[in-house]
Amino acid sequence: MKKNWLIAIDAGHGKYTPGKQTPDGAKEWHFNNKVVQTIEKRLGKANGIKYIRVDDPTGEKDRSLIERVKLANIKQADLYISIHHNANTGKWGTWTGVETFVMMPKSKNPKSTIAAQCIHPKVVKAMALKDRGIKEANYFVLKETTMPAILIEGGFMDSTIDIKRIRDRKRLEMQGNAIVEGILEYISLIKDRF
């Protein structure tokens, strides 16, 4: 195993990013940050793994995607994980589920796909929500990072189903722990395959 793995962690958006909230005004960043804080706590104790947080940990500034990706690329992170919670229409509804995105096409990003396959099922189980699968997207943080990257949507903030879990601090901690377990599995697989 390489001496130290570096994981770039990104709590999506900031406290004041327009539109990134529940229909009743709870900000997405607060949910994302709780997950990230659990990841930080666990990775801070892991041997051979370090992390950098590429968003603004206070949430006061919505650090641009360019800045986030640039920091991860300069630091030569080994894996980039962006934490989000989804929205559909911005009005309450019954859509539900967890989905994880990798850069399209998946075939050109085998390590990103492996990371998603290690992490996504664990997040689905932790949140106890519908599995919406691993999907492809051209999101900036997936396209412009020089390392494998995934973006996790841990449930819908405008879902009457999902919001009960998203507002549960213990459930968000479970999501963070699930992501760390997936990271450890990914590292174990990568060191054997590549």
- Global confidence as pTM: 0.96
**Percentage helix, strand, coil for the chain under 3-state DSSP, each rounded to 5:** 40, 25, 35
79: its two tokens? 């894996």
Specify which residues 82 forms β-bridges with.
10, 151
DSSP state of 24: T
How many other β-carbons are positioned within 10 Å of the β-carbon of residue 146?
12
Strand ranges, E, within the chain? 5-11, 49-53, 79-86, 98-103, 131-137, 149-156
Mean pLDDT of all residues belonging to the chain = 95
pLDDT tens track for 125-157: 999 999 999 999 999 999 999 999 999 999 999
